[in-house]
A and B are shown apart, each in its own frame.
Chain A
Amino acid sequence: NAGVTQTPKFQVLKTGQSMTLQCAQDMNHNSMYWYRQDPGMGLRLIYYSASEGTTDKGEVPNGYNVSRLNKREFSLRLESAAPSQTSVYFCASSPQSGNNYGYTFGSGTRLTVV
């Protein structure tokens, strides 16, 4: 069972470069999420997609864009990377948005911006 697959696992970017983090789930979940994890802080929501065709900003959306390509895939794009975006990024999915649904997380992407 693949669950939630993220690529790449590691990436080093120079300031100003762009890149797209890919996320795919094979559980037929409707909702997908992008989080970032920084030392000493809890995971913070960047963007989410409650269902195919919809996306919404989370707590820390500045500097990012997302695309819900289809029900399976939810990508996160950094148009012009900054050192403040150095972080570990996690994609997650759940059957529905809202309460009382479990979440499945990917294995993370460790991004360093120099």
Chain B
Amino acid sequence: KNEVEQSPQNLTAQEGEFITINCSYSVGISALHWLQQHPGGGIVSLFMLSSGKKKHGRLIATINIQEKHSSLHITASHPRDSAVYICAVDNTDKLIFGTGTRLQVFP
């Protein structure tokens, strides 16, 4: 079993829909990262969080340390949100990555 599991693996949505991507982990962490990767592109850091909730524009990230679970929400989704979203956890000086969730938003 992977130490960081994301669900769903693939997600399609219509423009304007509310999106939720989930991340569960099985190791002790000090922080969790949400990253975005556009097709053929580099990786951009969206959030780093160790407790509670963070918001940036239409993106919201939450984490529940007790349940070892985090969610990334996208409100009013747009085709430009189409990308792979990657969850990664900080574990003893190294990052452990999930395999990513591929999101496609159609107009």
Contacts and interface: CB of A to CB of B under 8 A. Distances in A.
Interface of A: 40-45, 48, 58, 90, 92, 97-100, 102-108
Interface of B: 2, 4, 30-31, 33, 35, 41-45, 48, 50, 86, 88, 90, 93-100
B32 to A, nearest CB: 11
A23 to B, nearest CB: 12
A90 B98 contact: no
Contacts of A103: 33, 45, 95
Chain B interface, DSSP helix/strand/loop, else mixed: strand
Nearest to A92: B43
Contact of A58 (B2, B30, B90, B94): B94
Contacts of A106: 42
Contacts of B93: 97-99
A76 B90 CA distance: 23
30 contacts: A40-B99, A42-B2, A42-B4, A42-B86, A42-B97, A42-B99, A43-B86, A43-B88, A43-B95, A43-B97, A45-B94, A45-B95, A48-B94, A58-B94, A90-B43, A92-B43, A97-B93, A99-B90, A99-B93, A100-B31, A100-B90, A102-B45, A103-B33, A104-B45, A105-B43, A105-B44, A105-B45, A107-B41, A108-B41, A108-B43
A98 B99 CA distance: 22
A18 B6 CA distance: 36
Contacts of B98: 42
Contact of A42 (B30, B31, B96): B96
A92 to B, nearest CB: 8
A41 B33 contact: no
Contacts of A100: 30-31, 48, 50, 90
A41 B96 CA distance: 11
